[in-house]
Structure 1
Amino acid sequence: MVSLTPWIDAPRLSSPPQQTADDRRAVTDVLGRLHAATPHAVGVAGTDDLRLPERDLLDRALATDLPPGVGPYGARARDALAEQADAVRRALAVWDEHAVRAHAERDSWVITHGEPHWRNVLSGADGLHVVDWDTALLAPAARDLWHVAGAEGAGADVVLADYAALTGRRVSTDDLRAQALRWDLTEVALYAAWFGRPHADDADGEIAWGGFTESLSSVGARGSAG
């Protein structure tokens, strides 16, 4: 049995390196059932606007030489973004093009969880439970599926085939790659904004710096997605 519930005290699914094909198939089944409930969510759930948070600040940072933020990571963050500026610009253009196409296909959108990755999937004695629903929105199905399938590869092909068999709805690997790119760009924009404001040299700053540099590298790797 699977359950869609705000919270339950149960073990999380194994982390990605240990995730099995059965894990992915089970979560895909949960998502198929969730997406099938879309008629009940229309008029209740919000709708994805496909916008990147802090986009204006990110665009300004890419267009001009902004002064460093007030804090120990400010100058480093500015310089790291400058080094990857071309890759980030290309990635933003890819996402913008995809967003235009996705908006034109709004009639096919479904109710999505938004973050059904392994940290939000619990395994209990009675089956799987998906938790933490604050990101739920009507959106393209790929918004959920890329968390399970990854952006591409044989594993992604299997998940997409299973999802199509369950729902009759086909999602492309291009859609997965675009949603993965969006995730990375969102992280870059949010961290860049964070480092542009007063911040401390503490554990939170260290974690944020790691997330920022990792996301910048990932954007560079995904820059050719479309």
Structure 2
Amino acid sequence: MAQVDPVSLSSWIGCDFGLDVARVEPVGLGADARADLARVVTVDGREHAAKTSSGPQPGLAVADLLASRGVVGVPGPLRTRDGALTASCGPPGGGLRLSVVPWVRGHRVLDTGMAPPEWARLGELLGRLHTTPLTEPGLATVPREDHDPTAVVAQARAFADALLRADRDHPADPAVAAVSVLWAQEGPRLLAVADRALHLSDSRRWAQVSPVLCHGDPHHGNLLVDGSGGVHLIDWDDAVVAPREADLMFVVGGVFSHATITEEQVRWFFEGYAPVTGVTLEDLDAEVLAYLRCVRALVDVLDLAETALAASDHALADRWEALRYASGTLGSGGLVELALS
């Protein structure tokens, strides 16, 4: 999505949120192609994260609720002059929504890791999230996990045809050639993940699952640790009502091959999580966990691989980067290996 120019963004923030903006700095983080993020500094020195997005932002209601309940580590979104969590912005009919949250100063856990007390704080934070009553006002728009993998399984089974079309349209493209090699090596394993997702989606266990409020994407790129050891969970766009395993799969095994999570770190996490929820590691459902890993692995690999194929839509450097992440998901210690284990 094209970035909103800083002058217009400053104007919209001032008009809708009442902030006197001194400067706007685009931020090149986040994998959502529908959204742009900017760091906004006001005249009085306060810092905020401003997101313009063409997609829905139901997670703002979750962050707003948790912040209002005093859950430490959740930056609460600012409200507009009219009391809303987002404002319309951009050209009329453009469909962009603007949201503003306090900027969190800290280091990404993906870059720095966490100390034992910080793992426990993360456990307590997710525990507070998972014990939030689903009857709270404002949560009606949060989507529900429906354990229906039909769309992503169809995407996996159609990928070979997409690869043939890309090779035909761009026969000399190096990124397309690299995807072709990767698919020849790893395609059968990914199709096995798709088959397993379908099988597990029919499990009788789903009737016994009690869904909870989940962040949906609490990987270590969305976790920040500040200078005092405080843990902050950002980017609530994927908030969902789902089995608790939808969040805990990011802790038990993790999702990044280059940032695997040890048994000791899992123990530290549950030292914070179990006292809040009454749930221990042994209480997790292995089949539900496996299903959710399968779906996440399919989404990660296929979306990234399709980005790498899209020679007309993305810069070559971005396509190579997408292919690198897809290869990591497929490689040793990656999520595909976990999903099939």
Q: Give the whole-Å Cα distance in 2 for the aligned partners of 1:21 and 1:149.
A: 15
Structure 1 residue 198 and structure 2 residue 311: aligned? yes
Alignment partner, residue 94 of structure 1:
196
| Higher mean C-alpha deviation, range 169-178 or range 17-26 | 169-178
User: Quick check: 1:111–1:138 contact (8 Å CA) kept in 2?
Assistant: yes
| Deviation (angstroms), 1:120 | 1.8
Partner SS for 2:217: coil
Q: Which runs of 5+ in 1 are unaligned?
A: none
Please, what is the CA RMSD of the aligned residues? Answer: 3.2
Once the two structures are superposed, residues 90-144 of structure 1 have per-residue CA deviations (whole angstroms, 9 ceiling, x without a partner) of 2222222333338824750111111112322233459433211111010111111
| Higher mean C-alpha deviation, range 33-42 or range 45-54 | 45-54
| Higher mean C-alpha deviation, range 72-81 or range 50-59 | 50-59
Alignment partner, residue 44 of structure 2:
none
| Deviation (angstroms), 1:58 | 1.8
Counting helix residues as a fraction of each chain, which structure ranks higher? Answer: 1
Q: Give the whole-Å Cα distance in 2 for the aligned partners of 1:141 and 1:84.
A: 30
Q: Evaluate the alpha carbon distance shift between residue 18 and residue 128 of structure 1 in structure 2; reply closer, same or farther with a 3 A threshold.
A: closer
Q: In terms of Rg, which structure is larger?
A: 2
Partner SS for 1:129: strand
| Higher mean C-alpha deviation, range 213-222 or range 181-190 | 213-222
Structure 1 residue 224 and structure 2 residue 340: aligned? yes
Q: Give the whole-Å Cα distance in 2 for the aligned partners of 1:197 and 1:156.
A: 38
Q: Give the whole-Å Cα distance in 1 for the aligned partners of 2:338 and 2:230.
A: 34
| Alignment map for 1:7-46 (pairs within 5 Å) | 7=101, 8-15=103-110, 18-39=113-134, 40=136, 43-46=140-143
Q: Evaluate the alpha carbon distance shift between residue 44 and residue 107 of structure 1 in structure 2; reply closer, same or farther with a 3 A threshold.
A: farther
- Kindly tell me the number of residue pairs found equivalent between the two proteins: 224
Counting strand residues as a fraction of each chain, which structure ranks higher? Answer: 2
Q: Which amino acid aligns with 1:154?
A: E
Structure 1 residue 187 and structure 2 residue 304: aligned? no
| Deviation (angstroms), 1:61 | 2.9
User: Quick check: 1:102–1:140 contact (8 Å CA) kept in 2?
Assistant: no
Q: Evaluate the alpha carbon distance shift between residue 19 and residue 11 of structure 1 in structure 2; reply closer, same or farther with a 3 A threshold.
A: same
Select the residue among 259, 262, 276 that pairs with 1:166. 276
Identical pairs, percent = 19
Q: Give the whole-Å Cα distance in 2 for the aligned partners of 1:89 and 1:111.
A: 30
Q: Give the whole-Å Cα distance in 1 for the aligned partners of 2:265 and 2:106.
A: 25
Structure 1 residue 154 and structure 2 residue 263: aligned? yes
Q: Which amino acid aligns with 1:216?
A: L
Q: Which amino acid aligns with 1:117?
A: H
| Deviation (angstroms), 1:208 | 1.1
| Higher mean C-alpha deviation, range 112-121 or range 126-135 | 126-135
Alignment partner, residue 2 of structure 1:
72
Q: Evaluate the alpha carbon distance shift between residue 4 and residue 100 of structure 1 in structure 2; reply closer, same or farther with a 3 A threshold.
A: farther
Q: Which runs of 5+ in 2 are unaligned?
A: 1-70, 78-100, 255-260
User: Quick check: 1:88–1:223 contact (8 Å CA) kept in 2?
Assistant: no
Q: Give the whole-Å Cα distance in 2 for the aligned partners of 1:111 and 1:67.
A: 41
Q: Evaluate the alpha carbon distance shift between residue 117 and residue 192 of structure 1 in structure 2; reply closer, same or farther with a 3 A threshold.
A: closer
Q: Evaluate the alpha carbon distance shift between residue 156 and residue 128 of structure 1 in structure 2; reply closer, same or farther with a 3 A threshold.
A: closer
Q: Give the whole-Å Cα distance in 1 for the aligned partners of 2:287 and 2:112.
A: 23
Q: Give the whole-Å Cα distance in 1 for the aligned partners of 2:209 and 2:152.
A: 27
